Chains A and B, each alone.
Chain A
């Protein structure tokens, strides 16, 4: 299942996989561990996690969730043959 990014507003001390799982009521493995909890805006205390779409649908109403966002593919803009 494709994964999506979920943006969370957290206090810095909450920004760990274990704590985010607890806050959102998620089980082990429901948040991509290799992605982790990524700080995208230190000034706004915004973080993002990577989950599958079904999990995102379950958590999107949580207090900490700011939004659910797509994860599109990107490619180099190099030389091509048209």
Chain B
């Protein structure tokens, strides 16, 4: 066991530490070795100031009222680092002998310390049931909002329905309204289990009754360095399909939620900022234009903020000190979603704002890094946070189509009802805070709905 041993300091030792000199070996500082105590020779002795209570008889270690500290040689002590045996009897004996020595003030533990951040590779924190509780899924469902028949496009690596069913889900997927890039052999709902399946699972936490649309953008056969990637032109094609879909819905009943747990990890893939062909900072880029068009048509578009947070970025990140929330992930017409764990702490890899297209990004935070889909040990990355939020949006859309609550109005309501985290109000770590379905359901009680009554629609089905 690691310990810190506090010794009373001979005057010459105290003077030496104040001068910053290397002290003589420990053996010279004490009469004879202490059995069982092994001193770490690489740890330089550290002078410890001695607290002195302001009032006679008071305990100086209460630190209140304020105490003074003395480094006078006759009062100085210093710390050495060492180990004592783990065996309880031997440990007891070593510590007893040490503390019996007049030169030893005390033997203290030296515990391992580490950051509390959740980083890539960290074990999961909580599970999807915890996420459901934190989101307020019950409050939404009690208010008649579980995403029934709301189409949610998972623009990703493809969905595998069998895997979702194996996890106890019963999702509905519309193959007819799904899409895959040219050359992809597998069909909607039958793609290999992977990232897209995780996202589909996480949509279902708040919106178990949504209709999944499988947009396997990232299975594109267009050349790339990794198997799971695509080009932005593939995304333009996907979005043109979605624009056609929503435009075909009656104007008063438009509902379409679009989840995008992807983006750029490196500015190297783009034209430089300032170049007219740039994507990351350029609202005129065709993909940024079609994002705006789709939102204007009534779609709710969510993008993951990214995994290039300053504390522990994904190994693929190459933004350096640059702003990583860029391109459509920072678009003013989308919800940019940061990641928090089920203890409401920002995960260390969640990208921080400001955004490049819109500075006030991310918009809000949702839960990630939990045991969920079983695709990975943890449903993680801001990739998981995004569909968690998308599920809440889909739940709301069951009762409130875009005609009743525009995408911009819903984004504003989500931000207004979010639980404030971090600094007061908006900040670039958490946005407006943690998405809160309970507060959202309460706020929606005052919003006029339009469209069919849920009960009537469901009754017709039976």
Contacts and interface: CB of A to CB of B under 8 A. Distances in A.
Contact of A79 (B157, B271, B376): B376
Interface string A68-79: 111111111111
A74 B229 contact: yes
A27 interface: no
A38 B293 contact: no
Chain A interface bracket (under 10, 10 to 19, 20 to 34, 35 or more) = 20 to 34
Contact of A74 (B120, B263, B275, B314): B263
B296 A72 contact: no
A5 B224 CA distance: 17
Interface string B170-211: 000000000000100000000000011010000000000000
Given A4-B277, A39-B240, A70-B279, A80 B307 contact: yes
Nearest to B234: A74
A76 B218 contact: yes
A46 interface: yes
B120 A80 contact: yes
How many of chain B's residues touch chain A, expressed as a range?
35 or more
Interface in A25-82: 34-35, 38-44, 46, 48, 50, 66-82
Contacts of B247: 42
A78 B383 contact: yes
Interface stretch (B2-10, B34-42, B95-103, B284-292): B284-292
Interface of B: 119-121, 156-157, 182, 195-196, 198, 218, 224-226, 228-233, 235-237, 239-240, 243, 247, 261-265, 269-271, 275-279, 282, 284-286, 289-290, 292-293, 296, 304, 306-307, 312-316, 349, 376-384, 386
Interface of A: 3-5, 7, 34-35, 38-44, 46, 48, 50, 66-82
